[in-house]
Amino acid sequence: MLNLNNSYIKKIYFLFIISSYLMSQAQAGQLNILLENDGLFANDGNYTNGFSFGWESKALLSHQQYLPATIPLFFQLQHHLRLPINQSHTAWGMNISQRMWTPNKISSMEAQNNERPYAGFLQIESHLAEYSTKFSQKNWLSLGIIGPKSKAEQVQTKVHSFSDYTPPNGWQYQVQEQVTLQLAYEVDALLFRSSKLPGNLFNHNQWEASSYSHIALGNFNTEASLGLLFRWGTMLNKTFGRLSSHFGHIGNTTDVISSNNFTAYSRLQLGYRFSDLTIEGRLPYESDITIEPKQAKATIGVNWTINNYAITWSLNSYTRSYHSDKKSWHSYASLTLSCAI
CA distance 81 to 184: 10
Question: 203 or 205: which carries more pLDDT confidence?
Answer: 205
pLDDT band at 28 (very low <50, low <70, confident <90, very high): confident
Q: What is the mean pLDDT of residues 239-260?
A: 91
pLDDT band at 166 (very low <50, low <70, confident <90, very high): confident
pLDDT band at 41 (very low <50, low <70, confident <90, very high): confident
318, pLDDT greater than 70:
yes
Phi/psi for 121 (5° steps) reads -140, 125
Span of 31-35, 191-195, 305-309 with lowest mean pLDDT = 305-309
Judge whether 91 and 57 are in contact, CB under 8 Å. yes
Per DSSP, what are the bridge partners of residue 197?
A: 205
- Cα(first)–Cα(last) distance of the chain, in Å? 39
3-class secondary-structure state, position 69: coil
> Domains in the chain and their CATH numbers?
6-340 (2.40.128.140)
201, pLDDT greater than 80:
no
Q: What is the mean pLDDT of residues 108-137?
A: 94
Question: 255 or 52: which carries more pLDDT confidence?
Answer: 52
122, pLDDT greater than 70:
yes
Looking at residue 65, its pLDDT comes to 53
Looking at residue 307, its pLDDT comes to 85
pLDDT averaged over every residue in the chain: 87
150, pLDDT greater than 60:
yes
CA distance 230 to 211: 9
